[in-house]
Amino acid sequence: MALVDQFKKLIPRPRVVEVGWLVDTEKASLIHDDPRPVRADANKPLSSKSVQACPAVNGFEPLYFEISCPIDIDLKFKFGPDGKPLLYNAAGAEGVVYTRALRNFVKLMPRKEWRHPERPVIQMPAPYRFIADEPVWMSQMPAFLHWSEGHPPGRLIGGRLPVHIWPRALSWAFEWFDISQHLVLRRGEPWFYVHFETENPEAHVRLVHAEVTDELIRYCRGLDGVTHYVNQTFSLFETAKSRRPKKLLIKRKA
C-alpha cells in the first residue's frame, strides 16, 4: 500500500475539475436559474488596496456557487389550539404563487422529524443534480456572503454528498427558530450556496451544463427515494460505486 501511495503522488493532479449540473424536474423547470459563481462585490476597486483587489478574497469567493430562489413566498407558522403545527401563506390572494401550488411546493415536516419540538422544519424541492466523473464532494450551505435587511428567522440545514457516486436531487430544508417572524423569500435572491471539494485542494472547479443521458437517468433513479426504505443511505455507497457507469458527465451541447 505504501508503494501505491507513493506512486499516486507522482501522478499530476488536475488543475481544473469539471462538475456537471442539471435541473431534474418536468414541471416549471424554467423558474430555476443556472448556478453562478459567487461574487460578493462586483464593483470596480476604488484602489489597488480595495477589498476586491485582495488575492485572498478573490481566491475564496469563487470557490462557492450560488443557487437563486425560484419563487416569491411569505410564510407564517403557528401552533393551533390543540398544539398542531400549522403553516400559512401569509401573502394570501395578493401573492405571486397560488396557495394551492405553494402547498405542493412547501412541505412541513412531521414534528417527530424536527431537531427540537418547538422549531419547525420545512422543505422545498431544489431539483438540481451535480455530477462528476472523478471524486468530488459537494456541500450545500447558507448564502452567508449575501447581506439583506430581512434576515431569515432560522437557518438552512446543510449537507455534504459525494456527487461522483451519489448525484441526488437537492432540497432546501429550513429550521424555523423564531416562529413569531414570517419567512420571506424573494425570487432571484441567493437561496443557498454549493461548494465542491476535490482530491487536489488547488484545483479549480468548472461548472458545466450536463446532458441528461439514458444512463444518467437510470443511475439516478436507482438512488432516488432510498430514504423511504433505509435509514443510513451512506451505507449504499459501495453498491452505488459497483453499479455506476464508467462515465456519467456528458457536457450539453450549446
Q: What is the DSSP string of 137-161?
A: EEEEE--TT---SS--SEEE--EEE
Q: Cβ(158)–Cβ(98) under 8 Å?
A: no
Per-residue pLDDT of 95-154, as tens digits, reads 888 888 898 899 999 999 999 999 999 999 999 999 999 999 999 999 998 887 778 999
- Spatial CA neighbour of 151 closest among 171, 176, 172: 176
Reduced to 3 states (helix: H, G, I; strand: E, B; else coil), residue 202 is coil
Residue-wise pLDDT for 211-223, tens only, equals 999 999 999 999 9
Q: Is the pLDDT of residue 11 over 70?
A: no
CA-to-CA separations, 46 to 5, 133, 147, in angstroms, rounded = 48, 41, 21
How confident is the model over 53-57, as a mean pLDDT?
A: 83
Residue 45 has pLDDT above 80, yes or no: no
Mean pLDDT over the full length of the chain: 90
Distance CA 187, CA 176 (A): 20
